[in-house]
Structure 1
Amino acid sequence: MKFKPVAFVINIAITLGIGALGAWATLQSVKTWYPTLKKPSFNPPDWLFRPVWTTLYVLIGIAAYLVWIKRDKIVHFPRTVAIYLIQLILNLGWSFIFFYLHEVGFALAEIILLLIFIIINAVMFYKINKWAGLIFIPYFIWVSFATILTYNIFILN
């Protein structure tokens, strides 16, 4: 397949846009509410989250692009897009629930649902393009870690 630079940029811009909305939701709480929470000893330093998430959003966008360029050959492309969008909405939702609403327990339930949709999305993408599915592995690992953090913050607070 020929490289489509506009589609490539759009797919990455969508995921980075989701990340920017999530960052907006966390902006105030990261300075005020979040520092007051008891956190587990393995909680990463705050500066680590931005580069990790930026990298993950770029990778997710690349995976989406790899699937998008094969869209004419995908029988259930609308379903694939729906799963992808649900996963992105859940990703964004966690930031709002945890940081904006300060609902740690609800955020824990939501991030578990996000993990399920990451797996579903990765499997669907893998069936279309192996690299697109494999790209989701670091995302799944990071969100698994975030789930463990959320659980521990919920227990500690």
Structure 2
Amino acid sequence: MLAGRWILPAFIAAIAASLTAAVGATITDLGPWYQGLNQPSWAPPNWLFGPAWTVLFLLCTISGTTAWLAARTRSGGDAIIGMFALNGFLNLMWSFLFFRWHRPDLAAIEIGLLWASIAALIVVTWRVSRTASLLLVPYLAWVSFAAMLNRAIVTLN
């Protein structure tokens, strides 16, 4: 019966993560503008971003499902879902600012909000499921790295 309890939450979380990833992919444009940016020598190759984000969205899906099911009350579960939704919005907003508006300077500011939303998710999910919380640590690490990369791009351009 435990497996049946996971089906709907996991399905909903997977759809939400997939939609966020798909929208983010359509916003991301590695065309002439991006190719013309000066990048730091330590910037990863472009091909790495797709697989990295795939793994991170998978971890977020598992984390969100785990935390949602572990929430002690319905309102607690709703709050966790709301926080994941806000995080998804901030994730997309960064892509929009950087790749569509061509404003790495604004994206460098916005990524602080994204980072804070991940840190808040880690704290909140820790209260209901340490597993859910720990699954978000690679996401925080990646966004920390992305923030440094974003800042370096602003400085170099």
Alignment TM class, shorter chain as reference: over 0.9
Equivalent residue, structure 1, for 2:42:
42
Equivalent residue, structure 2, for 1:53:
53
Runs of at least 5 residues in structure 1 that lack an aligned partner in the other structure: none
CA distance in 2, matches of 1:2, 1:61: 18
User: Normalised by the size of structure 2, how large is the TM-score?
Assistant: 0.92
- Contact 2:72–2:128, Cα closer than 8 Å, also in 1: no
- Contact 1:105–1:154, Cα closer than 8 Å, also in 2: yes
Equivalent residue, structure 2, for 1:8:
10
Residues 7-54 of structure 1 deviation map (CA, whole Å, 9 limit, x = unaligned)? 21321221121011011001xx30221100000001100000000001
CA distance in 2, matches of 1:12, 1:6: 10
Of 141-150 and 81-90, the range deviating more from structure 2: 81-90
Residues 68-111 of structure 1 deviation map (CA, whole Å, 9 limit, x = unaligned)? 22345365333322222111110111111100111111100000
- Contact 1:16–1:58, Cα closer than 8 Å, also in 2: no
Q: How well do the aligned residues superpose, as a CA RMSD in angstroms?
A: 1.5
State the identity %: 34
- Contact 2:67–2:77, Cα closer than 8 Å, also in 1: no
- Contact 1:11–1:61, Cα closer than 8 Å, also in 2: yes
CA distance in 2, matches of 1:75, 1:11: 17
CA distance in 1, matches of 2:98, 2:104: 5
- Contact 1:19–1:57, Cα closer than 8 Å, also in 2: yes
3-state SS in 1 of match to 2:38: coil
How far does residue 137 in structure 1 lie from its aligned partner after superposition?
0.4
User: Normalised by the size of structure 1, how large is the TM-score?
Assistant: 0.92
CA distance in 2, matches of 1:104, 1:91: 14
CA distance in 1, matches of 2:11, 2:80: 20
Report the number of matched residues: 155
- Contact 2:69–2:77, Cα closer than 8 Å, also in 1: no
Equivalent residue, structure 2, for 1:121:
121
3-state SS in 2 of match to 1:121: helix
2:16 counterpart letter in structure 1: I
- Asked if 1:18 corresponds to 2:7, the answer is no
